[in-house]
Structures are given as structure tokens and as C-alpha cells.
Amino acid sequence: MNILGIDYWTKYIWLAKKDTKHDVIIPVWYIQNDGWTMFELSNIIEQYNIKKIVIWWPTKQKDMQEKIDRFIKELQIIYPDMDIVKVDEDYTSVEANATTWNFKKKAWEEDTIAAMKILERYKD
């Protein structure tokens, strides 16, 4: 089964995919969070044959919780049978930073790794 990990932010949505058959997590990249978001996300869901979505859940950021809840509701309209799971995101960015500390890094690298860390935390 393929699981999509989502690190949701207001400008970009960072994605990673887990293949549970081979227990491998790979980065998918990111999409802009704009009027095309659901279209682009649908293409990714179909392309990778996604059966479950794991999305970060910030325990301390109430404003982001509301945005993520709205995002999940939109997803459920398009994919009513899709299993969507919230996972505690706290410190995945810190872990991602520690992973890339010795490389010349850009913000997108940390956020992509954070999406991968979200999938690592999720126990399917």
C-alpha cells in the first residue's frame, strides 16, 4: 500500500510517499498551496496509487489546525473513502534540520525531509 505524507503550510505543501510493501519512504517534492492544489494533489494521488494520507498535526498552532482541518474536509469531498490520519508534527522540522546539518541546504530540503519524518512517525 502507498501512503502519502503531507507537511501542510499556507504557501507550499511538502510531500513524501511510503511504500509499505518495501518499507521505503521517498520524497515526492512539493506543490504550491493555491487554486491548483487539489488538482495537482489528485494527480499525485492517482500517479502513486495512494491509499492513505498522513498529514502533520501541530499540537500548539491552533491557527494551522483550523487550516489543516479545512484542507482535510476538501480532500474528503474529492476522496470520501480515503483514510486520512493526523500525526503529531512537533519537532519534525528540528529532526529534518539535524538530518541535513552538514550539507549546504535550502528550506525546501528540510520541509521535504519533514514530510518524510511524518511518515516515519506513523505506524501503519
Report d(CA 45, CA 42) in Å as an integer.
5
Q: How many domains does the chain have?
A: 1
The CATH number for 19's domain is: 3.30.420.140
The pLDDT of residue 68: 96
The pLDDT of residue 110: 67
Q: What is the number of helices (H) and of strands (E) in the chain?
A: 4, 5
Based on the number of CB atoms within 10 Å of its own CB, is 97 exposed (0-12), middle (13-18) or buried (19 or more)? middle
The pLDDT of residue 121: 79
The pLDDT of residue 72: 97
Structural domain including 71 reads: 2-121
Provide the 3-class DSSP secondary structure of residue 84.
Answer: strand
> Whats the size of the chain, residue-wise?
124
E-assigned strand segments in the chain: 2-8, 12-19, 24-32, 50-57, 83-88
pLDDT in tens, the chain (124 residues): 999 999 999 999 999 999 989 889 999 989 999 999 999 999 999 999 999 999 989 888 899 999 999 999 999 999 999 999 999 865 555 554 555 445 544 555 667 777 888 888 787 5
The pLDDT of residue 11: 94
